[in-house]
Amino acid sequence: MPRAASSSLILAVLASALLAPFAAAALEPAVAKPDAAASAGGVGATARAVSAGIVAGIRQGAQQDRNAKPAQIACVRALAYDAVAAPAQQVIEASLDAQDRAYLETFYASPLGVKYQAAMLSNADPDKAFSAEEWTQAQAAMASPAYQKLRAATVSSNPLAAQKIGGTLNPLLGACFKDADGQGGEAKGG
């Protein structure tokens, strides 16, 4: 793939992934209590959900790119869902107040939050994956002011997200989208 196409692909995939809805992989069964992981300097359920959503968007973008080679698609598929969880946690802590973080952690660490993330990742039909009550509760969480702040904080147009999340993601994507001469793409920022 020519260097310019590789750079454009990386930037386009990254931008669309950061703007995509936050879908996430089914999280490990033992999810920390709200804010427990984050307050201990770890990564919370919200940051893991953001990271998984970004990685899922990148995987989908690479799969749909007609110019992506099988090895590049396989490399992107191998990215861990938590690949950018740590920098996402940093962005969340710097951008959202304690009340918004607690609200989001409560949702994402709950059984409904885990189910929602798994359903979004698998593109499940909400009518089949959720009861009417569950779907109403999930939609309310996604319409909340806290979630809107989360979205605004973690998009690539936010300089902090571009620096933290993009700064971690770009080298990973660069390794996947090396040119034929062995040089990585030229993506900068996020």
pLDDT digits (tens, 9 = 90+) for 65-110: 998 899 999 999 999 999 999 999 999 999 999 999 999 999 999 9
State the Cα–Cα distance between residues 99 and 101, nearest whole angstrom.
5
Q: What pLDDT, on the 0 to 100 scale, is given for residue 122? A: 86
Contact 85/54 with Cβ under 8 angstroms? Answer: no
Question: Can you give the three-state secondary structure of 107-160, one letter per residue?
Answer: HHHCHHHHHHHHHHHCCCCHHHHCCHHHHHHHHHHHCCHHHHHHHHHHCCCCHH
pLDDT tens by residue, 126-155: 889 999 999 999 999 999 999 999 999 999
Amino acid at 55: V
Q: What pLDDT, on the 0 to 100 scale, is given for residue 126? A: 86
